[in-house]
Amino acid sequence: MTILDKIVANKRKEVARAKSRVSYTKLEEAEFFARQPYSFREFLLAPDRTGIIAEFKRRSPSKGIINDKVTVKQVTTAYADAGASALSVLTDKQFFMGQKIDVKRARLLNNIPILRKDFMIDEYQVIEAKAIGADVILLIAAILTPAEIDTLATLAKSIGLSVLLEVHNLEELERSTNPKLDAIGVNNRNLADFTVSVDTSFQLAKHIPDDFLKISESAISNTEVIKDLKQAGFSGFLIGENFMRQEDPGAAMREFVQGL
């Protein structure tokens, strides 16, 4: 069983538990559910921002604990002040030490889009994403069929959320591309063996149709690579560990963006 299989198996149980505790009606009554989400596209393309989607990530399966000493408030507000175009907040508890309340806290404190970073397999999670204050959901091609991607993207769009599809290779890209998506993210981390290579983004860039925002995800650790990714057509850069492994992730991002 791969780590992704384990994450998905656990997610199925987690979603079943959540459904038995909080009904769809209750989610739709949540205060954030009525808000108009921010547009991922608008913020990513805004000339006064950096294109960086800055991630709040305490732990990962590949690295173990990255930083469990900082708060959502301290990190996300500093990321936004440093010019983040969007925030990414992990909500998976078991493997990433994330929690749904992290998104709610970030929402109350920030006025930029928030990506609910989780392993979405069920429509319930899409409704939940809006209820906790997210603006964007992630769909991972490696764990979803094209029909599932269509169903989840259709629901997300119907409630005003933006959709980021994550792919790791050309086969996933070709089978999963769908006009309802807003953005296509190339994950530079191979989720089977955790090796990383930004070349994955450079190789797939030309195959992503221009109708979609192009995002490069994972293992981005210097500004030179961002300049090259921009040349290759990318407008978004998802960065987690490079900032989070520092004592003060917000200060790390502030220093990093000076090199852009």
| Residue ranges that bind ligand LARABZUK, judged by CB under 6 A | 3, 55, 57, 60-62, 187, 189, 191, 194, 217-220, 238-242
What letter represents residue 116's amino acid?
A: R
Q: Minimum distance from CB of 82 to ligand LARABZUK (Å)? A: 15
Q: Closest CB to ligand LARABZUK among 50 and 218? A: 218
At residue 145, the 3 state secondary structure works out as coil
Q: What's the one-letter identity of residue 244?
A: M
- The nearer residue to ligand LARABZUK, 177 or 242, going by C-beta atoms, is 242
Q: Mapping DSSP to helix (H, G, I), strand (E, B) and coil, where does residue 87 land?
A: strand
Residue 129 CA, distance from chain mean position: 12
Please answer whether residues 100 and 132 qualify as being in contact, where contact means their C-beta atoms are separated by less than 8 angstroms: yes
| 27 versus 137: smaller Cβ distance to ligand LARABZUK | 137
CB of 18 to ligand LARABZUK, least distance (A): 20
* Minimal distance, residue 30 CB to ligand LARABZUK, in Å: 26
Find the shortest distance in angstroms from Cβ 178 to ligand LARABZUK: 20
Query: Six-digit token pair at 214?
Result: 């192009």
Burial class (CB in 10 A: 0-12, 13-18, 19+), 17: exposed
Q: How far apart are CA 214 and CA 131, in angstroms?
A: 27
Nearer residue to ligand LARABZUK within complex by CB, 11 or 130: 11
Are residues 158 and 190 in contact, defined by beta-carbon separation less than 8 angstroms? no
Nearest CB to ligand LARABZUK, comparing residues 154 and 221: 221
Least separation in angstroms between CB 7 and ligand LARABZUK: 7
